[in-house]
Structure 1
Amino acid sequence: MTPAPGPFRFWWRSYDTESPAGPEWRSIGVSGIQEREERLTGHHLLYGPAPAWADDLLRVSRAVFLADKHAARSRSEDRWTRAFRLSVPVSDPDLWAPAASGPLPALLQTLTADVWDVSLRRMRAAPQQGAFPVGEDWRAQEVALFSGGLDSLSWAATRAAVPGQGVLLLVTYAEKNVEDVQREAYAAVKELGRRSGRRLWQITAGQTSGGRDGTVVEHTSRPRGLLYTSTAVRFAAADSVASVQVPENGQIALNPPLSAARSAALSTRSVHPRTLHLLNKVIESVGGRVKVENPLAGHTKGDVCRAALAAHLPDASLERTLSCGASPRRLRGLPHVNCGTCYPCLIRRAGLLSAMGSDDTPYETAPWRPGLSDDRIRHWRALQGWLAREYSALDLIGDLPLPPGSRTGEWLSVVERGRIELRALVESASGVRDVA
């Protein structure tokens, strides 16, 4: 039997010529990500400089993101769970010590299903802050992630439609080959802001891995959501905004596995309540005053769609959004934005059908069409099997624990209402009335 490999060791350089502590460490740094760290320290017209803890959080998140991309899961004993040792420079290691010994590794394990040992050493020099040419009139009052997906579009639309609330700052991560989708989504929100008089500001960043630090070997990317959120937290901290909104409907936030084979390790947990709880614990432990929240936690996908329509977004704007977990355009260069068969696409189909009675999204295909491969219909089959079984509070907390103080009944209600929407989708596709 081949012994399991030791931990992957990654040393994040605080400057390009820095060498790791020993030969067992692999050196990584800002040159491994196309979006330079210097670009995020003043060139985005923020109101003021970000506090040191927020710079540190972003640096840690970028190091985790890049380490994850350079460590193949196939090399681990179970071909999924890896062990990491990660060394990252921060402004004050003593301040970060409680986070490094508690909520930070727990957060990373929740996100990636790996084991993380994070050591935080002292930064040799503080990041250089650039000039901030905006005035008080453009200081953000609200900050939210804005992907161009249906959930983030709905939330931004509801906020843009409210006049007299100050600047709404939307943080977007550029997605390769779907930039036009993101531009259209922002234009729709911008139009609502124009009507209400609400001012909007968009910051677009990119975090594509690669460059001189080596070829990407792992194609899953579980910590990507942490990177996005940490970027928004940094912007909020610079503008003294008390919270960052990460809009995700409760169904996808919980992301319950459809079968025993689809364990938590195989499901994204970027906005799971436990993830946000641990991230907020990290921020609190280093003296941060920004809280990360999911404003759509109690919403099904249908609720999200209805809220967008109530904000006077046209049906077509919803149908042109990106929900797909494996977008054909992004991955294979095809003209379709949404594949129509992955689990996020099925949730999307059910939500639009519930809210509008129809769904004219130009999907690549539908899982109920004859002749599709087993791979294309596996989510559809798993969904029908999941709907045929009861779902209880034990299922909810057995998959991944909820944070302290959670109201399990409220989360269970979201799942049950979402299951009603999904059953309606199955019935509309098959004509079968009783799928439970």
Structure 2
Amino acid sequence: MRILCAPTTFEFDHNSADLNVALYAQAPSPDFGCIGEPVSRTIRRRKLSPPPRGWDFLSIALSCFAADLAGHRARSADGWTREFDLCVTVNDVAFWNSVKDELESTLQFLTTDIWTFEFIEGGYHPSPPSGALKQKGDCVALLSGGLDSFVGAIDLSADGYSPVTISHISRGDHDKQESFPKLIGTGLQSALFGHGGKVPDGESPASQRSRSIVFIGYAVLVATCLETWSTQTGTNCFVSENGFISLNPPLTDMRVGSLSTRTTHPTYFRKLQSIFDQAGFNLKIENRYALKTKGEMLIECQDQALLRKLAHTSTSCGRFLHYNYKHCGRCIPCLVRRAAFLRWGHNDQTTYIFDNLGINDDAHSRFDDVRAAAIASLAEEEVGTERWAGATLASAGIADPSDHIGMLHRGLIEIRSLLAAYGVL
């Protein structure tokens, strides 16, 4: 599928692409897609002036997400892997062509699709606003409304950082993305972004595998406007995710590929970091919890009173929208969450649609994710963590996997305790 993404000042040739996408603007006609218009308004309102390559990276990320929305997996040759030929206008054509292969590899790893990029002149770079400001703060931290990013922001504040939290607005989480920063420490600065993406004839439900690169694209815009960005040491983009979900090991041999997301995977971050370094973003992507289980994150959180008060209001479920903004209680993220609460030792006040995992039916104990978690737990006990997780750690390119093996073992102990508590094991 060939997709051309450019600002509306670009002269689109309607015969050159399967889909034209207007960047940072509304669609000029019904046959166009569009994405990014709310972002330009947010940056303008905050009186920030990101550098050209910062806008370029976000343009590429938004273009990938527009493709993600438009591509139909069922129409692909194997029913899953899509092929995208993406043409994007940028400010620095020579630079982005120099990292083209790395970008294609990064997106392929993230989404399991095949990507080809072409970069052309005409990138988006608005004139600096009158009285342009520098953003106060010394780092950026992604804040999704989930439990891990909430703990991460709490700990950053406690450790003396002054993060600007970056949120990708989503239904069901908007209130948390606004309220959580205000309640941490003496109050954190926050920046909320919406992509406004729409495409004609999009897939339903839409794939959102590339969503995380847009999230990081917002962080790049804000980070490159920080007062501290131009210093020799640069700044950090903190992405907080427990190590078990970050590695997201396939729980059984049948759960490779489509069931294993990679939004915070160390290989993905390593690939992005290489591109950032070459772009001169002076920004380090860091997950401080790569060797922690979710239960350990809760136990070690530096504001236990705030966590006990609000942990249950955070979001973890992979089907949160599907169940009308409630947790299903049986998907892998929900199982890891419930196991973490059990390990933490505090009452989990979260409402779960499928609460009693011990009910012996297809909706509870025999549900696919619950069965997979049980099989993984038993297999790891039988063959040992290193053998069970061998392929996962090898594919992550981790030179010394011993610490990760220990973290995976402890994560499976948490899950095993949850399943045992409900009589599933």
TM-score tier by shorter-chain length is 0.7 to 0.9
TM-score relative to the length of structure 2: 0.88
SS at match of 1:19: coil
Q: Is contact 1:13-1:20 (8 Å) kept?
A: no
> What's the CA shift for 1:400?
7.0
> What's the CA shift for 1:394?
5.5
Q: From the superposition, tell whether residues 76 and 44 of structure 1 become closer, same or farther in structure 2 (CA, over 3 Å).
A: same
Letter in 2 for 1:209: G
Q: Which runs of 5+ in 1 are unaligned?
A: 1-7
> What's the CA shift for 1:180?
2.9
Q: From the superposition, tell whether residues 316 and 373 of structure 1 become closer, same or farther in structure 2 (CA, over 3 Å).
A: same
SS at match of 2:372: helix
> What's the CA shift for 1:280?
0.8
2:158 is aligned, of 135, 158, 161, to: 161
Tell me the percent identity.
27
Give the aligned partner of residue 172 of structure 2: 177
Give the aligned partner of residue 40 of structure 2: 38
> What's the CA shift for 1:35?
4.3
Give the aligned partner of residue 215 of structure 2: 228
After superposition, what is the alpha-carbon deviation per residue over 1:181-227, rounded to whole angstroms, capped at 9, x for unaligned?
Answer: 434433432xxx22xxxx521111112422xx414215221000111
Aligned residues: 405
After superposition, what is the alpha-carbon deviation per residue over 1:355-396, rounded to whole angstroms, capped at 9, x for unaligned?
Answer: 125422222222333555379821111110111113544654
SS at match of 2:138: strand
> What is the CA–CA distance in structure 2 between the aligned matches of 1:268 and 1:126, rounded to whole Å?
32
> What is the CA–CA distance in structure 2 between the aligned matches of 1:13 and 1:111, rounded to whole Å?
23
Give the aligned partner of residue 242 of structure 1: 235
Q: Is contact 1:70-1:217 (8 Å) kept?
A: yes
Matching of residues 86-235 of structure 1 within 5 Å? 86-101=86-101, 103-123=102-122, 126-131=125-130, 134=133, 139-163=136-160, 165=161, 167-189=162-184, 193-194=185-186, 200-210=188-198, 213-218=199-204, 219-235=206-222
Letter in 2 for 1:271: T
Letter in 2 for 1:54: G
TM-score relative to the length of structure 1: 0.86
Give the aligned partner of residue 337 of structure 2: 348
Letter in 2 for 1:378: D
After superposition, what is the alpha-carbon deviation per residue over 1:376-423, rounded to whole angstroms, capped at 9, x for unaligned?
Answer: 821111110111113544654524755556421121111111011111
Greater mean deviation of Cα atoms: 304-313 or 398-407: 398-407
Q: From the superposition, tell whether residues 125 and 279 of structure 1 become closer, same or farther in structure 2 (CA, over 3 Å).
A: closer
> What is the CA–CA distance in structure 2 between the aligned matches of 1:33 and 1:251, rounded to whole Å?
33
Does residue 378 (structure 1) correspond to residue 377 (structure 2)? The answer is: no
> What is the CA–CA distance in structure 1 between the aligned matches of 2:365 and 2:375, rounded to whole Å?
16
Q: Is contact 2:106-2:272 (8 Å) kept?
A: yes
Q: From the superposition, tell whether residues 78 and 375 of structure 1 become closer, same or farther in structure 2 (CA, over 3 Å).
A: farther
After superposition, what is the alpha-carbon deviation per residue over 1:296-330, rounded to whole angstroms, capped at 9, x for unaligned?
Answer: 11110001111236554241311111111110xx2
Let me know the Cα RMSD of the aligned residues: 2.5
After superposition, what is the alpha-carbon deviation per residue over 1:309-355, rounded to whole angstroms, capped at 9, x for unaligned?
Answer: 6554241311111111110xx235x3x53221111000000011101
> What is the CA–CA distance in structure 2 between the aligned matches of 1:306 and 1:287, rounded to whole Å?
37
> What is the CA–CA distance in structure 2 between the aligned matches of 1:414 and 1:96, rounded to whole Å?
37
Q: Which runs of 5+ in 2 are unaligned?
A: 27-33
> What is the CA–CA distance in structure 1 between the aligned matches of 2:275 and 2:255, rounded to whole Å?
28
Q: Is contact 1:149-1:323 (8 Å) kept?
A: yes
Q: Is contact 1:161-1:311 (8 Å) kept?
A: no
Q: From the superposition, tell whether residues 202 and 37 of structure 1 become closer, same or farther in structure 2 (CA, over 3 Å).
A: closer
Matching of residues 61-100 of structure 1 within 5 Å? 61-100=61-100
